[in-house]
Amino acid sequence: MNAINTSNGDFLNSLQEIIQNNLKDPEFGVSVLAREAGMSRSNLHRKVFASAKISVSQFIRHERLKTGLKLLKHTSSTVSEIAYEVGFNNVSYFIKCFHDYYGYSPGQIGNREKEEVSAIKESKMKIKPVYFIGLMIILVSVISILLYSNSKGKSYVKKTIAVLPPYFENLEPEKTSKINSTVIQLINNLSYIKDLEIKPWTSVNQYKDPEQSASKIAKNLNVNFIVESSAEISNNNIQISVSLISGHEDKIVWSQPFEENLDNILQLSKKISGELVKQLKVQVTPAEKQRINKVLTSNKQAEIYYLQGDELFNRGKDKMWDGNNDLLNAIPWYKKAIEQDLEFAAAYAELCNIYYLLSGNSIEMYKNNITKYASLAMLYEPNTDKSLYAMALSLEAVKDYETAVIYLEKALEYNPNFADAYLELSAINTRQDISGPKIVEYVLKALRFATNENDSLNMARLHIQAAHALRQAGLYDEALIHINRSISLNPDISIFYIEKSEILILKEQNVDSANRLLNDLILQHPEFLNTKKYFFKNLFLNREFEKAYTSFKDLFELNSNGNFDNDIPKYRTIQRFVVTLEHLSFMKEFDLYRKILTESHIDSTHTFGPYFDSYELIRFYCVYHERDKAIQEMRNFSKQKYFLAQHIYHFEFSPVFDVLRGNKEYQEILAEIKVKFEANRDNIRKMIQEKELL
């Protein structure tokens, strides 16, 4: 703290010196300045106002802007870099303040200097006509060659964009909600454009008041453009300044202020999206324009209530596992909107969405609400993304995953940037264990859309889904990248290590590394039943039957029910144990467990789809030494379009299939399956590279 001279000139000069010493600090404000000046806040306010006729906060801001102007004129730094250099966290807010203070934007500095400097005399600018024409011909030729060579064979690069949360100073909650709603609806509008990839609100909300530069955020989110905005509300009007920033160059390519009445948030978001589309030069089809301009409801009050609910819903979705009540608080606003407009399909759809999210693993609790609101959404607007998505959720609630996928894919046709639809398709894949280019694309796009550094649990879950899908497709190196990311995000979850062990088996074509990993996990957590089940399976695959027998007995004793549920993984565990007992010639136990296996088989098959029904039937016939039936079912199985990598490995190495190994037809069918599998794997790898999904 330094007491300063209080004569007017020296006083202001001293304050300026303190401000300059703290210019880069965005947290530097009135309180710190008062402390450094050795004065109370009230005395500082009185003295500054008496000397400069402005408030202290304005005085600080003006000093930042003056320094910013000097840097713009005399350095090669970008507007974005200078904004952070003079203590602005938000580039758009810097541009707005700069424009308010100087009457023009920072990007116009160069043009204004050219206007202010006298032009070079016309006589010096004149070029002889012949030289001029010759020069132009050469120039046009060079440009044509460059354009041709650049376009020849060059693939189109899709524009990717993240619209960050708006910057605004202290406002009451209702006004804050209005500003956030503008940006949420802007994201919704842009998401309908297939030529554009846009991050959802749940991914960008972590960058409210960001400390990183635009280029750093762009890198984190894997986008090439960032949209920043700053907003104020006065006289029932919202004033918002929007900037489009090139993420690679950290350079503002466009900036414009907008103003609209607070009751016209949707109209404002459409204006902004229209200007952004022009600046980005993206192709917008007539159908996409129609979706962007679609009126949610003709009832103004219903619209206001809906937007209030929508802001809470989007905020709550982002923090639903943190004890946040925003999802619950959104429900009455959507219901108020429906009271005003009984045919408000979007409100019905979002209510279905909320109840599905709230249900978690207890779907029965809200199943009636999910079904009711999805049906009403489909009744009034059967072809929109929100209604189709709600219908998919209601189908998932009754475990009709196959039909749910159809509705989710329709929702993506309507809205190609519908992040939640990709997330659901990814989750369905995890439940269904299906492999194919589409499934892998859905899983990786779900991960791409869901980038959120602050949500380590959800991100870890998405990475294991990606690892799982890539492993099934035979892309083991890529799968390891994702599972290692899951482990680094959340190292205490055992299933991540189990998934890694499964990848290692297929990559190395043996169980050694996998079992070392699982053994370490068992030593740390001997109570984990699932880890021991996989460890037993690996001992069985490695034909260590005596160790497998001991491992199974330990596993069986840990099961407090004294039996196994009739799902496929536990059914296969008994199946493997039966084969183990046969190899060890423990016939008394063999007869007992084969009887359990027979009873379990009745309830286990014909419940997991045609692919798994067929695969399980082959295993069943092999365990019972019915070779002819097993071969016949192998013929049926070989007609499938896609195959899972682990099943190829089991056909080749699992003792379950020993009874078929010497059979020539079995080897021919297996070779045919492997050709299909490898072709599918190569297609998936090509798709991933072309769409830059890794």
Q: What is the pLDDT of residues 195-247, one digit of tens each?
A: 999 998 888 888 876 667 788 888 888 899 999 888 888 888 888 889 898 98
- For residue range 307-331, what is the model confidence (pLDDT) as tens digits? 999 989 988 876 654 455 888 999 9
pLDDT at site 569: 53
Amino acid identity of residue 133, one-letter, is I
Q: Is the pLDDT of residue 115 over 70?
A: no
| 367 vs 138, higher pLDDT | 367
pLDDT grade, residue 558 (50/70/90)?
low
pLDDT grade, residue 434 (50/70/90)?
low
The per-residue pLDDT of the chain, averaged, comes to: 84
pLDDT at site 157: 56
Give the rounded percent of residues in the chain with a pLDDT score beyond 70. Answer: 84
CA dist 455 and 229 (Å) reads 24
Q: Does residue 259 contact residue 237 with C-beta atoms inside 8 Å?
A: yes
Instruction: State the burial class of residue 117 (Cβ atoms within 10 Å of its Cβ: 0-12, 13-18, 19+).
Output: exposed
Q: Where are the alpha helices (DSSP H) in 525-608?
A: 529-541, 545-558, 568-584, 587-604
Which whole number is the average pLDDT over 127-155? 45
Whether this model's pTM surpasses 0.75: no
Where is mean pLDDT largest: 86-90, 261-265, 350-354, 490-494? 350-354
Assigned token pair, 460? 């870890």
pLDDT at site 638: 96
CA-CA-CA-CA torsion sign (251, 234, 164, 303): negative
CA-CA-CA-CA torsion sign (209, 214, 216, 220): positive
| 603 vs 458, higher pLDDT | 458
Q: Is the pLDDT of residue 268 over 90?
A: yes
pLDDT at site 560: 47
- Name the percent of the chain in helix, strand, coil, to the closest 5: 70, 5, 25
| 192 vs 528, higher pLDDT | 192
pLDDT at site 663: 94
Assigned token pair, 212? 């990183």
Which whole number is the average pLDDT over 441-450? 85
pLDDT grade, residue 430 (50/70/90)?
low
Which whole number is the average pLDDT over 166-188? 83
- For residue range 610-633, what is the model confidence (pLDDT) as tens digits? 888 899 899 999 999 999 999 999
pLDDT at site 457: 75
CA dist 602 and 608 (Å) reads 13
CA dist 487 and 504 (Å) reads 15
pLDDT at site 597: 82
- For residue range 363-375, what is the model confidence (pLDDT) as tens digits? 788 999 999 999 9
- For residue range 99-110, what is the model confidence (pLDDT) as tens digits? 888 888 887 776
pLDDT grade, residue 453 (50/70/90)?
low
Nearest to 306 by CA among 338, 281, 282, 275: 338
Amino acid identity of residue 162, one-letter, is A
- CB proximity list for 573: less than 8 A, separation 6 or greater: 533, 536, 537, 552, 555, 564
pLDDT grade, residue 300 (50/70/90)?
very high
pLDDT at site 28: 87
Q: Is the pLDDT of residue 561 over 80?
A: no
**Cα distance from N-terminal residue to C-terminal residue, the chain:** 53
- For residue range 632-682, what is the model confidence (pLDDT) as tens digits? 999 999 999 999 999 999 999 999 999 999 899 999 999 999 999 999 999
- For residue range 408-422, what is the model confidence (pLDDT) as tens digits? 999 999 999 998 899
Assigned token pair, 67? 């320094």
CA dist 269 and 246 (Å) reads 21
CA dist 98 and 267 (Å) reads 27
pLDDT grade, residue 126 (50/70/90)?
very low
At residue 585, the 3 state secondary structure works out as coil
pLDDT at site 455: 67
Give helix then strand counts, H and E, for the chain: 34, 5
Residue ranges and CATH numbers for the domains of the chain are 8-115 (1.10.10.60), 123-294 (3.40.50.10070), 297-432 (1.25.40.10)
Which whole number is the average pLDDT over 161-190? 85
Which whole number is the average pLDDT over 132-154? 45
Assigned token pair, 533? 């089940």
pLDDT at site 438: 83
Which whole number is the average pLDDT over 392-411? 93
At residue 229, the 3 state secondary structure works out as strand
